[in-house]
Structure 1
């Protein structure tokens, strides 16, 4: 797996880097998937008119509003590869319109790609970064990508493996809740109280019945995991950030699988659907785990972003 950061300054420079990357793949009869904004997809389609039918395009706004939903797209792509053929991807999850919380989760996603596909043969992924994002984001990209793609060449990233590199997935600290919040401690036999608590706050936030059902189901799934795996008790904290309802569940358990909620559940599996379902119900999900326990923070807006 070759995970490559590509820094560009203009739309033309974006094309100068991505088009040869794709054309080389097609010359080698490799399968190509590009997960980009609709604007970048239009740029590539126009530039590659003669070969556009050989490239699969997916709108990042459709699949990646919650960055945790991007990983399954790449997993399906790799799983469906034709035997003996290489695969290439272009993915640009980070853009200027991302909120600060979404940005952090995109960076978590980039780090987790290395874990998810480390042993995948003949898979190159190019991750474009607009230089206008700023030096901090570009430095993080250098730390989360083992390689850099520049002028058609792949070279080792100078930031990869340095001290102060990216936090291990799920260990980056979350900002503290605001001073105004409400909290509910729960234990076995009290999931009804959890659901009632969330229903009350969803109604206060102006959620309709369908969206209220979504957030109640999501919190119920996380709280159930706390009861089963997190010491049979937990704490639910709720607050508002503008129109967004934040529900955070904290317990003393640990989440062992860094890809929990991102790995596609097997149809034959018993369990393993909780965080997967949560990721598809919520606008943003932040999971953190460590020696002191686990935190799952759900961001839910009244009008759901693209599922």
Structure 2
């Protein structure tokens, strides 16, 4: 049961549920309470759950905004921008809002799970000073690995379990840019570039993507994303970099490495301001690709971009 009134400051809460009946019961009551209080509500959950909640909410659902998390959150690096736009639109004048966001579901790849966890930790940074909104994040304790659920508890200041709200044991402070990415599991084609060699890098990425069976429009998206990341290397990474591209588990993976360092953990995750150029490139990369992994430290920066090849088009 929803035992709390609407908060007066940002409340980031994990809902640990067991089974569909508990999920539906808690989430629909949470949404109904928000609507009854005149609060705008955004529900961003995987498609099947989205349809289920629409049916259960009935007429109340007509006053709720629904988005399919498997679309907007396919790349976890896009999720914060969804909430940012919603909050910016509705919280003027101190208005309270609610959201239900389910970024993690059974079937996410290990790489996606890591990026989801980093995104959840960054939500506390992005919205910590935003008043009067409540974000409830359901986690399936039966279908998800125990480690994923345990980490969710460390990234949410509040945890809702077995009908009770509890304060978390302290939010884990995470550097979302830290750490190393594993080396390519097979042969990677590499092209070192400066401004004069960027065209060759684009041609190489396009060739590998086409040979892997990526549809033409997605080849163009990957080449554009690579170009944006490489432009950042030229501008902020010492004027040079390295592009590598390879195939892995039904996907085409492309990465750009350089000697620069990213200091803003939210760069590329928030919509760029109209009057600022900084951050536009990585924001576009996040919105073009199926998965984006960014790591940055004293040794330099890596932007890794993944595009899934449709099964019917896979080559070799």
The corresponding residue for 1:20 is 29
Instruction: Kindly indicate whether residue 112 of structure 2 is the aligned counterpart of residue 105 of structure 1.
Output: no
1:133 to 144, 151, 161: 144
TM-score relative to the length of structure 1: 0.91
Judge conservation of contact 1:255–1:289 (CA < 8 Å) in 2.
yes
Instruction: Kindly indicate whether residue 147 of structure 2 is the aligned counterpart of residue 147 of structure 1.
Output: no
SS in 2 for 1:48: helix
1:123 to 133, 138, 142: 133
The corresponding residue for 1:176 is 183
The corresponding residue for 2:3 is none
SS in 2 for 1:30: coil
Counterpart Cα distance in 2 of 1:274 and 1:129:
32
Encode CA deviations 1:179-203: one digit per residue, 9 max, x unaligned.
4222222223221121122122123
Instruction: Kindly indicate whether residue 247 of structure 2 is the aligned counterpart of residue 240 of structure 1.
Output: yes
Encode CA deviations 1:271-290: one digit per residue, 9 max, x unaligned.
43211111122111111111
Judge conservation of contact 2:94–2:132 (CA < 8 Å) in 1.
no
Pairing of 1:27-42 with structure 2 (within 5 A): 27-42=36-51
Judge conservation of contact 1:20–1:152 (CA < 8 Å) in 2.
no
1:203 to 210, 222, 230: 210
Counterpart Cα distance in 2 of 1:84 and 1:272:
28
227-236 vs 49-58, greater mean Cα deviation: 49-58
Judge conservation of contact 1:260–1:275 (CA < 8 Å) in 2.
yes
Pairing of 1:256-267 with structure 2 (within 5 A): 256-267=263-274
Counterpart Cα distance in 2 of 1:266 and 1:51:
34
Encode CA deviations 1:35-82: one digit per residue, 9 max, x unaligned.
011221222223222422222111112211111122211111101105
Q: Name structure 1 gaps, 5 residues minimum.
A: none
20-29 vs 132-141, greater mean Cα deviation: 20-29
The corresponding residue for 1:288 is 295
SS in 2 for 1:14: helix
SS in 1 for 2:90: coil
Judge conservation of contact 1:66–1:283 (CA < 8 Å) in 2.
yes
1:249 to 244, 248, 256: 256
193-202 vs 148-157, greater mean Cα deviation: 148-157
Judge conservation of contact 1:2–1:123 (CA < 8 Å) in 2.
yes
Judge conservation of contact 2:294–2:301 (CA < 8 Å) in 1.
yes
Instruction: Kindly indicate whether residue 60 of structure 2 is the aligned counterpart of residue 51 of structure 1.
Output: yes
The corresponding residue for 2:282 is 275
SS in 1 for 2:196: coil
Counterpart Cα distance in 2 of 1:234 and 1:108:
25
Judge conservation of contact 2:186–2:246 (CA < 8 Å) in 1.
no
Q: Please state how far the C-alpha of 1:114 moved relative to its aligned partner.
A: 0.7
TM-score relative to the length of structure 2: 0.89
2:194 to 187, 191, 194: 187
Counterpart Cα distance in 1 of 2:186 and 2:71:
34
Judge conservation of contact 1:261–1:277 (CA < 8 Å) in 2.
yes
SS in 2 for 1:246: strand
Judge conservation of contact 2:17–2:162 (CA < 8 Å) in 1.
no
Counterpart Cα distance in 2 of 1:37 and 1:278:
23
The corresponding residue for 1:93 is 103
Task: Output the aligned Cα RMSD.
Answer: 1.9
Q: Please state how far the C-alpha of 1:295 moved relative to its aligned partner.
A: 0.6
